[in-house]
Amino acid sequence: MKTRINPEDVLRIVDKHNDSQGAVISILEDVQAMYNYLPEAALKIISHRTGRSLVDLFGVATFYSSFSLEPRGRHIASVCMGTACHVRGSPKILANFERDLRVKAGQTSDDGEFSLSTVNCLGACALGPVAVIDGDYYRNVKDSDVSGILDRASRINGALRIPDDERVFAVNVSCPNCNRSLMNDEYLLDGYPMVRVTASFGRKHGWMRLSSLYGDYRIRSEYQIPKGVIVHFFCPRCHAELRSGRLCPDCDAPTILLLVRGGGTIQLCSRRGCKQHLLDLGA
Amino acid sequence: MPRLSSLAELQLLRRRIRDSVSKSKPRITVCAGTACQASGANDVQRIVKRHLLEHDLVDRIGLRITGCHGFCEMGPFVVTEPGGMFYPKIGIHDVPAIVSAALSGEPAEYLLYRDSVTGTVCKCMDEIPFFSKQQRTLLSRNQRLDPIRLFDYLADGGYEALAKVLSGFAPEAIIDEIRRSGLRGRGGAGFHTSEKWDMARRQAGDVKYVVCNADEGDPGAYMDRSILEGNPHSVIEGMIIGGIAIGATEGFVFVRHEYPLAIKHVLIALRLAREFGLLGMDILGTGIDFDISIVKSAGAFVCGEETALIRTIEGMVGEPRQRPPFPTERGVNGKPTCINNVETWANVPIVIAQGGDAYAHVGTETSKGTKVFSVVGKVKHTGLVEVPMGTTIKEIVYEIGGGPQDGGKIKAVQIGGPSGGCIPHRRFDLPIDYDSLSQAGAIMGSGGMIVMDQGTCMVDVAKYFMSFLKDESCGKCFTCRKGTQRMWELLDDITEGKGTLAHLDLLETLGKTVAETSMCGLGQSAANPVLSTLRYFRAEYERHIIDLRCDAFVCENLTGAPCQAACPVGTEAWRYAALIARGEYDAAYRVIREANTFPSVCARVCDHRCEQHCRLLTTGHDPLALRALKRFVTDRSDPAAYKPERRDDPVAASMRVAVVGSGPAGLTAAHNLSLRGYKTTVFEADDQPGGLLTSGIPTFRLPREVVQKEIDALIDENITLLCSITLGSDFTVDDLFRDGFDAVFLAVGAHESWRMDIPGEDMAGVYPSMEFLKAWNLRGESLAVGNVGVIGGGNSALDAARVALRQKDVTGVTIFYRRTRQEMPAFEEEIQGALEEGIKLETLATPIELHGENGHITAGEFVVNELGDVDGSGRRRPVKKLGSEYKVPLDTLIVAISEAASEIGAAHSTGLEMRDGTITVDKRTLSTGRPGVFAGGDVVTGPNTVIDAIAAGKRAAQVIDLYLRERDVAVPAEPILPRVYVEPAVSEPAHDVPATRASMPTLPTEQRHKSFIEIEGTFSEEAATREASRCLRCDLEFTRPPQARPSLARSRGGDA
């Protein structure tokens, strides 16, 4: 499982943090977020750019438990070993994860699907024993729950995709500048009109349609938009840019603002691939 | 929104925000702290939004998404205004009803919180004991604001403290205000905040820093997370004030990467504060510059230590360094740095806004204000709890926390994380403040309070912390690096059954050495979990070392299969279940009989601790019905067919042993002595053998012929049985020795009912339960007539009640018990059976006087009890309610409050000391103070179970054998581990076993009327096989031969 490193990506991360306090840890975190682990090639680039010796970087990378020098699985399962979880039986829960995945804590399954780890405390002590898989918390886990949790985690990708799931519902939006509807009745997705905007990135400028289902990230667009690119959104009617003036708390990209029919606004991150969004019905 | 450039503009904005909030508009508040999110709060939030949009309600009802309210156990929950109605554990389908309720102002009652004890509906938060008994200065702010909205914080009085400071406080005046408040650090050691600030302020130099330590590493504590997630501006405001006080221009929030939501909310708050001119250059036009950035920790416990934290902020490996110099002198980048934790910073705006003197009104002499604790572990209501300093542990755990979980018994709390210690139940009156905790061997730490019950092993807890510390020790100090490792190994030895008493001394010495020779707090306090558990729970360590038993069933190699370990006679319950599944019933009977002299009796009346510890329970299923399976096997086997091996031993044959009492303890001892070759004489006071098996337990639970058959099978030619001869009146222990007996085993039982000591107790119609039961069981005399009352809640009360109901002149039976139904010590099956048969149960009732005519009882006078304080047994004490006296007409009253040995029968005639009607013996050897005299069964323990009596009998035979051979009677213990491999009936135990157990057939209630026919039936063969197959086979971990190990775990389907 050799990961291809794009030196430019790594350098961009280094340059983003290099001046700030505690830069190295932030750099390593971002690099790990990109590659799922810390490839040696990336550490060499970081060392070169920051002037910190490679041995020093390895020291930091091995000292902190969140860094991994080995590739990790597609899913990360962590079992909380905090005191409250311990007294409620987390060692048995961990043993069940180990048995089901056929790995020990700290290892990755042969098929590369799951990495299993322990964490000293997740701070969800009231709900122990707790396990987290890909950011989803599972509370009061019992021995017999483990198989089901793993099955579920290997099936879902986080997004809600089932149109008949009650939690998925269509939102009717309009332009905050001209107040005209952005709903495009001719293009339906799962039977719902899509939201039409004009999108611009790099030198490309064309139409784009967003799913109007809340929590659904599907889009259609005139041009292929690469992951990570920041897109400018415009109203197709009045051509005003749909900016909220706020930055995304997850990725720092600008967020866009749409009015919601019925009251409130919706804010979306403008970076392709970032799922940050907020349906705000007012205070 | 324009940047605010003066204090006046801030106040104007605040007024505008407050004016714009409609007081009358209903509101739904959804708690979306991490715990509630884990329980489904995000789905609730989504559905509320959907509902409001689709029903055009956005303008009519407000929605607020907040951080943690603290009652995490109840998540996801919502609160609606007006009225503060609290809806716990809701699902998405409950949303429409709650929205309509909020609009109409009438609560959706069926969804409201119900008190877990009384069952009463609590309409609003203030009626819920969990909330009403707290003082939620910090936490109540969480529920009033959406952490991503600065305006919510401003409306709630946010940045008012900052405004106060900026309107003319000199730095010294700020520090003075803090000093007068008495605020001490909430992160661990409790250093005075004002002193720390003052030291930092006095340092020369332009560049200084403040740091918020949010590397909340103590496992079990999460209040810092909740504050950062739920109210980030309060921390920011505190830090700005601190920065101004010490003259810093920059601050860092050092936060764990495991807290993504906290990081996000702090980031949003920092941006908003900057945007509004509350942070950054020229704060509110005052010319003061101060900004804050976030530094993420990457997962290392030691980074919570301040010098290690500084190195992490600097981007280095987080190893601590020697102090002094303290961070206030040389901190981040070598500059003076003031480090406080999240909760401390969040308290700062409160201190400034209230004034230091007002703040100091709350708390104790040395510890001021409130403290947030995370009350977690084996407690009913887990969550975050905020109380004034000085509140007792008992109040927190019982009144707020609701007491034990699932009917358990709380034995300790662990306070203060890995540097803290365990406080035992008997010290729960301890008021919590910095000083009393450290005197008790714990520390305040960050406020983690982990409740532990009988299912928590204290040695395992110590080992857990040591494992944590050895992993987290940075390794810089040799003593900490190796010392924690070595202490862990010693503890591991003990949990593996390889410990010696010398291990304990070594642990103590090593612990002290590590504490004295380590540089930072981690090593200095590393021994605390060991030392505090040794101090309060040494007996538990000794039990592991001497008896090789873990009574919490946690240490695997001392537990084996829990069913077997739980059985006082060590019955291989897993083994007979496995054999039943295979259809090998004769083999199953042999397994049962080898361990137990009275298998058919125990198949009916055992309290089956094997079932209470069955691992199926941990999976949320019913335990295996082991008693019923035993019944199935014993019903198909004749006790006489089993011929145990008897030793021919000339030495033993020349000795004679006297056994006094022919109950299960006495007969078991006599039988086992006979198998060892001894001649035994059994002396029985009643006219037939069996003790309580025949005289106490009614026939509808235990038919007489069943007992008789088993007794007949036990008595062989080595045993002489003499009936109607009573110790005390007919002979004494001295007589026995004079008659040539070489050893005596006293197993006379506890036949003397305790008295209530109330007026009227000696009237006719009032009977001690033992007298009542014996009259019926031995002589067929019906003593009960008319309206019968029974006092007590144990098995003998239930037996008496059920016998009385069946007697011909009885019209009705009521049991009066002074505590609640949950606390009745009788078997649940018996209580259930009694209620089915029509017996009335009156709880929380204590008799105070009996009334009568012509010397015969006519009525009982009772008083109603309320539940008071928690007593030593961990139960709430019944307290008589004044003026609640009431009379109940009664023709018969049976008193069954407890039993003791007959004083005349034992004390005078044995020359032994008695305490509370029992004989004192060495628990392990059953030796009394007198050589050659041993005692066991109820006469030692007080009223107890059949199986414990059998176990005492077995132990007695073993020690008497050793005594007569002049060997050491202290038998070295062996761990009870499964040793025999029984091939599973199906090759791989089924993964999806049925969650519910097979139910035992019982006699229909209508056929039980005035009938003494046995109530319980037996399994069909099919039911027995099915039930036996539910066993998880814990034994296989210990017995499976290598070639029988499963080759592959089951494959996983559905991968994307």
- The reply to whether A181 and A275 lie within a common domain is yes
Residue B46 included in any domain? yes
ipTM of the complex: 0.93
Task: Give the pLDDT confidence score for residue B1044 in this predicted structure.
Answer: 66
Task: With CB atoms and an 8 Å threshold, state whether B315 touches A25.
Answer: yes
Task: With CB atoms and an 8 Å threshold, state whether B53 touches A23.
Answer: no
- The reply to whether B1011 and B954 lie within a common domain is no
Q: Is A262 on the interface with B (CB under 8 A)?
A: yes
Task: Give the pLDDT confidence score for residue A18 in this predicted structure.
Answer: 74
Say which amino acid occupies B676. R
- The reply to whether A151 and A200 lie within a common domain is no
Percentage above 70 pLDDT, chain B: 97
Number of structural domains, chain B?
A: 7
Residue A206 β-bridge partners: A199
- The reply to whether B186 and B254 lie within a common domain is yes
Residue B63 included in any domain? yes
**B949 CA to chain A: closest CA distance, Å?**
32
- The reply to whether B936 and B819 lie within a common domain is no
| CATH, residue B442 | 3.10.20.600
Please say if the pLDDT value at position A161 is more than 50. Answer: yes
| CATH, residue B595 | 1.10.1060
Task: Give the pLDDT confidence score for residue B1051 in this predicted structure.
Answer: 42
Task: Give the pLDDT confidence score for residue A34 in this predicted structure.
Answer: 87
- The reply to whether B480 and B439 lie within a common domain is no
Please say if the pLDDT value at position B1048 is more than 60. Answer: no
When pLDDT is averaged across residues B2-19 and rounded to a whole number, the result is: 94
- The reply to whether B924 and B892 lie within a common domain is no
Task: With CB atoms and an 8 Å threshold, state whether A167 touches B43.
Answer: yes
CA atoms of B467 and B529, how far apart (whole Å): 11
| CATH, residue B112 | 3.40.30.10
- The reply to whether B52 and B195 lie within a common domain is no
- The reply to whether A114 and A138 lie within a common domain is yes
- The reply to whether A80 and A141 lie within a common domain is yes
Q: Which of A155, A183, A206 is the last residue of a domain?
A: A155
- The reply to whether B1005 and B881 lie within a common domain is no
**Chain B hits for A125, Cβ within 8 Å:** 219-222, 374, 376, 382, 448, 450
Chain mean pLDDT for chain A: 89
When pLDDT is averaged across residues A114-123 and rounded to a whole number, the result is: 90
- The reply to whether A186 and A149 lie within a common domain is no
Smallest Cβ distance to B38: which of A24, A113, A137?
A137
Task: Give the pLDDT confidence score for residue B559 in this predicted structure.
Answer: 94
**A60 CA to chain B: closest CA distance, Å?**
5
Q: Which of B897, B925, B948 is the last residue of a domain?
A: B897
B257-316 per-position pLDDT tens digit: 889 999 999 999 999 999 999 999 999 999 999 999 999 888 888 888 999 999 999 988
Rg (CA), chain B: 34
Smallest Cβ distance to A87: which of B34, B47, B456?
B456
B486-527 per-position pLDDT tens digit: 999 999 999 999 999 999 999 999 999 999 999 998 899 999
Cβ atoms of B599 and B590 within 8 Å: the answer is: no
Please say if the pLDDT value at position A162 is more than 60. Answer: no
A71: cis peptide before it, omega within 30°? no
Cβ atoms of A159 and A277 within 8 Å: the answer is: no
* Angle subtended at Cα B819 by Cα B411 and Cα B823, rounded to the nearest 5 degrees: 50
- The reply to whether A150 and A212 lie within a common domain is no
- The reply to whether A111 and A47 lie within a common domain is no
Give residue B1017's pLDDT band: very low, low, confident or very high (50, 70, 90): very high
Q: Is B34 on the interface with A (CB under 8 A)?
A: yes
Residue B698 included in any domain? no
Q: Is B149 on the interface with A (CB under 8 A)?
A: yes
- The reply to whether B336 and B267 lie within a common domain is yes
- The reply to whether B869 and B765 lie within a common domain is yes
Residue A252 included in any domain? yes
- The reply to whether A151 and A214 lie within a common domain is no
When pLDDT is averaged across residues B599-626 and rounded to a whole number, the result is: 92
| CATH, residue B270 | 3.40.50.11540
Does this model's pTM top 0.95? My answer is: no
B161-192 per-position pLDDT tens digit: 999 999 989 999 999 999 999 999 998 789 99
Cβ atoms of B662 and B712 within 8 Å: the answer is: no
Residue A47 included in any domain? yes
B407-462 per-position pLDDT tens digit: 789 999 999 888 899 999 999 999 999 999 989 988 888 899 999 999 999 999 99
Range of the domain at A49: 7-63
Longest dimension (CA), chain B: 107
Q: Is B579 on the interface with A (CB under 8 A)?
A: no
CA atoms of A44 and A55, how far apart (whole Å): 10
- The reply to whether B174 and B266 lie within a common domain is yes
Termini Cα distance of chain A: 49
Residue B697 included in any domain? no
Residue B956 included in any domain? yes
- The reply to whether A100 and A196 lie within a common domain is no
- The reply to whether B513 and B447 lie within a common domain is no
Instruction: Give one word for B284, left, alpha or beta, with left for phi > 0 and alpha for psi -120 to 50.
Output: left
Place of tokens 């009917």: B407
Residue B188 included in any domain? yes
When pLDDT is averaged across residues A8-21 and rounded to a whole number, the result is: 84
CA atoms of B722 and B682, how far apart (whole Å): 6
- The reply to whether B854 and B940 lie within a common domain is no
Say which amino acid occupies A155. R
Between B752 and A172, the more confident residue is A172
Please say if the pLDDT value at position B777 is more than 50. Answer: yes
Residue A69 included in any domain? no
Residue A164 included in any domain? no
- The reply to whether A91 and A142 lie within a common domain is yes
Task: Give the pLDDT confidence score for residue A224 in this predicted structure.
Answer: 92
Place of tokens 């006489």: B640
Q: Which of A79-88, B116-125, B388-397 has the lowest mean pLDDT?
A: B116-125
Q: Is B255 on the interface with A (CB under 8 A)?
A: no
Chain mean pLDDT for chain B: 92
Residue B672 included in any domain? no
| CATH, residue B915 | 3.50.50.60
Please say if the pLDDT value at position A166 is more than 90. Answer: no
When pLDDT is averaged across residues B385-410 and rounded to a whole number, the result is: 92
- The reply to whether A182 and A271 lie within a common domain is yes
- The reply to whether A191 and A275 lie within a common domain is yes
Decide: residue B1012, CB within 10 A, 0-12 exposed, 13-18 middle, 19+ buried: middle
The helix-helix angle for B193-202 and B232-246 (nearest 10°) equals 50
CA atoms of A80 and A89, how far apart (whole Å): 11
**A165 CA to chain B: closest CA distance, Å?**
11
Residue A146 included in any domain? yes
Give residue A156's pLDDT band: very low, low, confident or very high (50, 70, 90): low
B787-828 per-position pLDDT tens digit: 999 999 999 999 999 999 999 999 999 999 999 888 898 988
Within 10 A of A92 (CB to CB), how many other CB atoms are there? 18
Smallest Cβ distance to B49: which of A137, A154, A279?
A279
Range of the domain at B500: 474-549
B212-252 per-position pLDDT tens digit: 999 988 888 999 999 999 999 999 999 999 999 999 999 99
Please report which residue ranges of B87-181 form alpha helices under DSSP H. Answer: 95-104, 129-132, 139-144, 150-155, 160-166, 171-181
Q: Is B218 on the interface with A (CB under 8 A)?
A: yes
Please say if the pLDDT value at position B909 is more than 80. Answer: no
Please say if the pLDDT value at position B1049 is more than 60. Answer: no
Residue A218 included in any domain? yes
φ/ψ of residue B287, rounded to 5: 85, -5
Residue B760 included in any domain? yes
Give residue A111's pLDDT band: very low, low, confident or very high (50, 70, 90): confident
Number of structural domains, chain A?
A: 3
Task: With CB atoms and an 8 Å threshold, state whether A150 touches B1052.
Answer: yes
